[in-house]
Structure 1
Amino acid sequence: MKLSELPHRTAATVESVDDHTPNDTIARRLRELGFVSGERVEVMAAGPVAAEPLLVQIGYTRFALRRSEAARVRVSVLENPA
């Protein structure tokens, strides 16, 4: 599942970040921000116009991501979030 498709307030873990091109700067930046395999992630809210941007929490940090950026992050839903 893509992060952009994750329902609000649903805990998930990052599986990977998809590169669209070689040396993809957006994918690299997402990884630098902490979107790496195994990290817990959650969509907290969405903006009022066309649900843009998404407010995403990874660890204790929150980021505003465009849906196109969030669509690069592959996640799996946690069965028993703690």
Structure 2
Amino acid sequence: MITTLNELKTGESGIIVSYNGKGELRKHLMEMGFVRGSNIEVKRIAPLGDPMEVKIKGYSISLRKEEAVNIEIEVT
């Protein structure tokens, strides 16, 4: 099943299929390991849903929903 990262719940994981963002944000996320084929797991979601903490390549990273909505995930 393909969905966007912001739709995953705490404890769910998947593989990055694509990233639809542009510009500096896209470059920054790619440098942090948000590339096609990378495994990603949702560790925590703030009580109001923003931001969310994900684990990718051994690192914990916080993302806002506006960033997460651009990352397509194949749920595993």
Give the alignment's TM-score, normalised by structure 1: 0.83
Kindly report the root-mean-square deviation, in angstroms, between the aligned alpha carbons of the 2 structures: 1.1
How many residues align? The count is: 74
Matches within 5 A, 1:15-26: 15-20=17-22, 24-26=23-25
| Per-residue Cα deviation, 1:36-74 (whole angstroms, up to 9, x for no partner) | 0111001111112x2111001112100011011111111
Please name the residue that 1:11 is paired with.
13
SS at match of 1:52: coil
Q: Percent identity over the alignment?
A: 28
The letter for the 2-side match of 1:36 is V
Please name the residue that 2:45 is paired with.
46
Give the alignment's TM-score, normalised by structure 2: 0.89
Larger radius of gyration: 1
Shift of 1:15: 0.7
Please name the residue that 1:68 is paired with.
66
Contact between 1:27 and 1:72, CA under 8 Å: does it hold in 2?
no
Where structure 1 has 5 or more consecutive residues not aligned to the other structure, the ranges are none
